């Protein structure tokens, strides 16, 4: 995967966040300091410190990508029983705003109630199961089924039944079925298990402050698209987690701007974040810290377990963007759709900023479509054709993020994790 961070050919100048909007919020201060922390680690590596690699390679069975039974287990345990990012808070901007969420294979509608709180329901009419909300998004105070016109309020109560006398007392028990939703740090999470609970704070754990400082609540939607790929969802996800392929697969598209030998990596429970150095950062070795334009050049790739990538990039100083890549499996083990959206970080963008963001959006999509997802489809097909022969894949020390995410996925499923290879021997 390629993250196009900085417009090629544009000169950069150091930008101090204080210049951008008067006094800094606590979050903005922390964001600046945290980016400077990443910048210092990059400079240390440029000066010879070792990159953030894993201690050893790991080996994994090819069947984790190709076995239909494993796929069915993942669809249930990961995509129905784990919190998933549905959208950003600003995608549900006001009371009555709603969005449907079908990505995980369960029809859900998320609604912002009168008091601003979010609620989630199965998007299934309680009469005979018709799809209740048929527009992908909009604003409404009630939802009326197009089949026989049963009507539900935005808090899920059944409030209208034509010819009610035909249903006697049984209509009383037919409110919409709730699913858990939660809003944290500008992100909307959903768990596609009806009548269950979701402890989102426990799920995010120590990762929460890393998300909070991004102030995603201020981000404004600019554009979205779907990127389908004929590969298992984990094979697609893996292409975002290692820079080892930049110099070969992205030789002409990404390698001229960013190299992977310098890599900063952190993890918080199942979540993690990786940063690769831009070539322009080599100049930092000769400059005092005040000259580093870390706010622009540091492009963080956050992995929000299990399937969402949040990239914080900039097209030029002070003109950042956030991109979400949410990967969802199809019904078959070799089908994935990536839902990609891009946002302006601090409110509605100017026409110029929108054009810059759309250019970054198009550049990334081109690289994903013509490079990452071609190699993913071919690679997955290869594994699917040989998996019965005990085929394996290896995650190198530099592919530390892949090691971590496959261990985290295996832990949720209670399946065998990838095995560490020590002195050439795979641990049992």
> By the criterion CB under 6 A, which residues form the site for ligand FES?
125, 127-128, 130, 145, 147-150
Q: From the list Fe ion, ligand FES, none, pick the one residue 372 interacts with, judged by a Cβ distance below 5 to 8 Å according to partner type.
A: Fe ion
Contact of residue 148 among ligand FES, Fe ion, none (CB under 5-8 Å per partner type): ligand FES
Shortest distance, CB of residue 119 to ligand FES, whole angstroms? 19
CA 89, CA 112: separation in Å to the nearest integer? 10
Does the footprint of Fe ion cover residue 242 (CB under 5 A)? no
Q: Among 2-10, 32-40, 378-386, 401-409, which window interacts with Fe ion (CB under 5 A)?
A: 2-10
Question: Residue 1 binds what, of ligand FES, Fe ion, none (CB under 5 to 8 Å, by partner type)?
Answer: Fe ion
Beta-sheet pairing, 137-139 with 220-229: unpaired
Structure tokens of 276? 């690769």
Q: What is the rounded CA–CA span in Å between residue 405 and residue 267?
A: 10
Q: Are 336 and 233 in contact (CB under 8 A)?
A: yes
| 399 binds Fe ion per the rule CB under 5 A | no
- In the complex with Fe ion, the residue whose CB is nearer, 238 or 295, is 238
- Shortest CA distance to 405 belongs to which of 261, 312, 307? 307
Smallest separation, CB 161 to ligand FES (Å): 8
Q: How far is the CB of 221 from Fe ion (least distance, A)?
A: 24
Residue 145 binds: one of Fe ion, ligand FES, none (C-beta under 5 to 8 A by kind) = ligand FES
Cβ proximity to Fe ion: between 2 and 383 the closer is 2
Q: Using the minimum distance from each CB to Fe ion, give the nearer residue, 13 or 251.
A: 251
Site track 362-381 with Fe ion (rule: CB under 5 A), x = hit: ----------x---------
Least Å distance, CB 180 to ligand FES, is 24
Which of ligand FES, Fe ion, none does 263 bind, CB closer than 5 to 8 A by kind?
Answer: none
Choose among ligand FES, Fe ion, none what residue 315 binds, the Cβ cut-off being 5 to 8 Å by kind: none
Q: Which does residue 147 bind out of Fe ion, ligand FES, none, counting CB within 5 to 8 angstroms by kind? A: ligand FES
Residue 78 CA, distance from chain mean position: 14
**Does the footprint of Fe ion cover residue 1 (CB under 5 A)?**
yes
Taking CB within 5 to 8 Å according to partner kind, which of ligand FES, Fe ion, none is near residue 128? ligand FES
Q: How far apart are the C-alpha atoms of 365 and 203, rounded to whole Å?
A: 30
Nearer to ligand FES, 149 or 386 (CB): 149
Q: CA distances (Å), 251 to each of 6, 248, 314, in order? A: 17, 5, 21
Assign 3-state DSSP to the chain and report helix, strand, coil percentages, each to 5.
35, 30, 40
Q: How far is the CB of 149 from ligand FES (least distance, A)?
A: 6
> For residue 1, what are its two tokens?
């995967």
CA distances from 313 to 8, 194, 258, 321, 324 (A): 14, 36, 13, 5, 11
Q: How far is the CB of 125 from ligand FES (least distance, A)?
A: 3
Question: Order of strands across the sheet with 220-229?
Answer: 220-229, 336-344, 319-329, 308-316, 300-304, 271-278, 258-268
Nearest CB to Fe ion, comparing residues 181 and 367 = 367
How far apart (Å, rounded) are the C-alpha atoms in residues 43 and 356?
A: 28
- Give min distance, CB of 135 to ligand FES, in A: 16
Nearest to 74, CA basis, from 336, 254, 310, 312: 336
Residues from 59 through 78 that contact Fe ion (CB under 5 A): none
**217: its two tokens:** 């609540």
Pairwise CA distance, residues 96 & 18, whole Å: 36
Query: Cα-Cα-Cα-Cα dihedral of 310, 189, 225, 346, to 10°?
Result: -60
Question: What's the min distance (Å) between Cβ of 248 and Fe ion?
Answer: 10
Shortest Cβ 354–ligand FES spacing (Å):
40
Query: Tokens 């402050």 correspond to what residue?
Result: 209
CA distance 241 to 315: 21
CB of 151 to ligand FES, least distance (A): 9
Q: Of the two residues 112 and 126, which places its CB atom closer to ligand FES in the complex?
A: 126
Q: Would you say 129 or 256 has its CB closer to ligand FES? A: 129
Could you list the residues that contact Fe ion (CB under 5 A)?
A: 1-2, 239, 372
């Amino acid at each position: 995967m390629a993250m196009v961070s900085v417009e090629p050919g544009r000169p950069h100048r150091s930008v101090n966040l204080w210049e951008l909007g008067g006094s800094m919020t606590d979050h903005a201060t922390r964001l600046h300091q945290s980016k400077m922390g990443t910048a210092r680690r990059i400079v240390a590596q440029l000066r010879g410190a070792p990159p953030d690699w894993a201690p050893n390679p790991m080996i994994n069975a090819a069947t984790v990508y190709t076995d239909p039974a494993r796929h069915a287990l993942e669809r249930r345990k990961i995509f129905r029983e784990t919190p998933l990012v549905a959208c950003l808070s600003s995608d549900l901007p006001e009371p009555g705003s709603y969005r449907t969420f079908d990505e995980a294979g369960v029809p859900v509608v998320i609604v912002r109630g009168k008091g601003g709180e979010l609620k989630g329901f199965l998007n299934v009419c309680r009469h005979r199961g018709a799809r209740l909300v048929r527009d992908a998004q909009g604003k409404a105070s009630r939802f009326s089924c197009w089949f026989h016109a049963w009507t539900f309020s935005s808090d899920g109560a059944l409030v209208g039944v034509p010819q009610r006398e035909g249903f006697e007392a049984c209509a009383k028990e037919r409110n919409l079925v709730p699913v858990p939703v939660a809003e944290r740090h500008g992100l909307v999470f959903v768990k596609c298990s009806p009548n269950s609970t979701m402890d989102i704070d426990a799920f995010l754990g120590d990762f929460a402050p890393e998300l909070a400082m991004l102030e995603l609540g201020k981000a404004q939607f600019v554009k979205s698209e779907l990127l389908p790929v004929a590969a298992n969802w984990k094979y697609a996800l893996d292409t975002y987690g290692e820079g080892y392929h930049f110099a070969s697969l992205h030789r002409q598209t990404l390698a001229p701007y960013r190299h992977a030998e310098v890599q900063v990596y952190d993890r918080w429970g199942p979540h993690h974040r990786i940063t690769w150095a831009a070539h322009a950062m080599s100049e930092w070795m000769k400059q005092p810290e005040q000259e580093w334009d870390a706010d622009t050049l540091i492009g963080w790739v956050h992995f929000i377990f299990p399937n969402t990538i949040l990239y914080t990039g900039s097209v030029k100083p002070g003109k950042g963007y956030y991109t979400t890549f949410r990967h969802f499996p199809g019904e078959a083990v070799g089908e994935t759709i990536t839902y990609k959206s891009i946002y302006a970080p601090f409110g509605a963008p100017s026409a110029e900023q929108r054009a810059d963001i759309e250019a970054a959006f198009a550049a990334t999509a081109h690289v994903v479509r013509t490079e990452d997802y071609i190699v993913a489809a071919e690679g997955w097909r290869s594994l699917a054709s040989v998996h019965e022969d005990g085929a394996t894949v290896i995650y190198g020390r530099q592919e530390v993020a892949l090691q971590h995410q496959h261990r985290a996925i295996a832990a949720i499923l209670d399946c065998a994790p990838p095995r560490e290879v020590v002195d050439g021997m795979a641990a049992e």
